[in-house]
């Protein structure tokens, strides 16, 4: 956003500079027109003075000088116009490039936003799957725990009727029951 703001400010500064240059060109054109009128006025005065001269050679030389001066002025004016046109084209090209760069950056920002959104959705989906797995494991542990309790109760009832469970079996089941109880307690705190 900061880069976009800086680029926008650069574009605005460029537009102001362009307007100032356009105004300068207009002023120069008006000044040149005034100079041309003055030159033409002086040329007219010179031409009438030359006509009064009786010497044909001086008259021709003056006319040639005037023609050369006009030709030089026109040539210089054409060169100035050509240079101004080239400057204007260059400025337009640079402005176009800046705008294209801004548009490309906006597209990249949108792509990054879409990618972040997709990644967030993927994370949510994975978290939901993890919760489902945890709930399934809890249920398995709980079911196993309940089954062990039932088996212990059944064996305890059968103990009186049948031969007693060996000490080793009792210890194995007791340790297993304690592990299951610990696992259930551990999972319920998560």
pLDDT digits (tens, 9 = 90+) for 80-118: 889 888 988 998 898 999 999 999 999 999 999 999 999
Crossing angle of the two packed helices 167-189 and 56-161, in degrees rounded to 10:
150
The closest of 69, 50, 190, 55 to 131, measured between CA atoms, is 190
Per-residue pLDDT, 162:
46
The rounded mean pLDDT for the chain is 82
Please tell me the pTM assigned to this model.
Answer: 0.34
The closest of 81, 105, 134 to 1, measured between CA atoms, is 105
Per-residue pLDDT, 53:
57
């Amino acid at each position: 956003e900061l880069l976009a703001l800086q680029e926008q400010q650069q574009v605005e500064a460029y537009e102001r500079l362009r307007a100032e240059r356009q105004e300068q060109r207009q002023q120069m054109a008006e000044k040149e027109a005034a100079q041309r009128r003055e030159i033409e006025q002086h040329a007219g005065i010179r031409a009438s003075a030359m006509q009064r001269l009786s010497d044909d050679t001086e008259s021709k030389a003056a006319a040639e000088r005037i023609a050369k001066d006009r030709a030089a002025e026109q040539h210089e004016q054409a060169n100035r116009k050509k240079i101004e046109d080239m400057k204007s084209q260059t400025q337009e090209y640079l402005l176009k490039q800046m705008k294209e760069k801004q548009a490309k950056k906006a597209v990249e920002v949108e792509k990054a936003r879409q990618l972040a959104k997709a990644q967030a959705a993927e994370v949510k989906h994975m978290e939901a799957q993890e919760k489902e797995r945890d709930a399934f494991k809890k249920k398995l542990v709980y079911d196993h725990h309940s089954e062990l309790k039932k088996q212990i109760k059944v064996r305890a009832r059968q103990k009186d009727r049948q031969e007693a469970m060996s000490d080793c079996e009792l210890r194995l089941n007791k340790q297993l029951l304690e592990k299951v109880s610990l696992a259930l307690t551990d999972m319920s705190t998560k």
